[in-house]
Copies of this chain bind each other. A is one copy, B any other.
């Protein structure tokens, strides 16, 4: 008992990073389909067993990769919701656009949902991956929802405003364009979006 007393050879912690790096590179180079776990292991200088001991499935692996890529966007209420939201959504947009080139030989003017779509599909296939993805997004989004709540209490937003729904509208529009309609996303669109959402449609 005592402290715990892990027995046996300890895991090579560096290996985790090397594997995620290699897998990430391959993902960016070739996309989900055209990359293989085998090659990721080889490129990381690691045996396949070592990789599978950590992530039991290709889907689990790539979700881990994406989770690591997800940059922590700093969120804090400044007293100006519009500015805060615009900054946040632009950060997200940058991230999404970076993942767009992936998985297809980036033909000019040709947009793809790339990695994001693969993550969504992986989540749809394995319940535990789905849970992980949702947890990841919930964590990320909670901060913004809180920010919206603060703005509401502060009087910047109407009292009836539903922060969760408002956030869904904003983030949703971005992902919808990315995953479904394939239309471009940029700062100009973010502006139209924030304006539309904050001002509302009816008077």
Contacts and interface: CB of A to CB of B under 8 A. Distances in A.
Interface in A147-203: 156-158, 160-162, 165-166, 168-177, 179-182, 189, 192-193, 195-203
Contacts of A180: 120, 133-134, 137, 171, 175
Copies in the complex: 4
A177 B181 contact: no
B196 A156 contact: no
B120 A113 contact: yes
Contacts of A113: 120-121, 123-124, 130
B202 A198 contact: yes
- Interface hub of A33, A115, A176 (most chain B Cβ within 10 A): A176
Interface residues on A, range: 35 or more
Interface stretch (A10-18, A36-44, A69-77, A104-112): A104-112
B202 A202 contact: no
A123 to B, nearest CB: 7
Interface string A93-113: 000000000011001001111
Contacts of A193: 165, 168-169
Contact of A202 (B124, B133, B156, B165): B156
A181 B120 contact: no
A112 B134 contact: no
A82 to B, nearest CB: 8
Interface string A44-86: 0000000000000000000000000000000000000000000
Contacts of A125: 31-33, 103-104
Given A31-B125, A113-B121, A168-B173, 10 more contacts: A31-B124, A104-B124, A115-B124, A117-B121, A120-B179, A130-B182, A141-B181, A158-B200, A165-B195, A168-B176
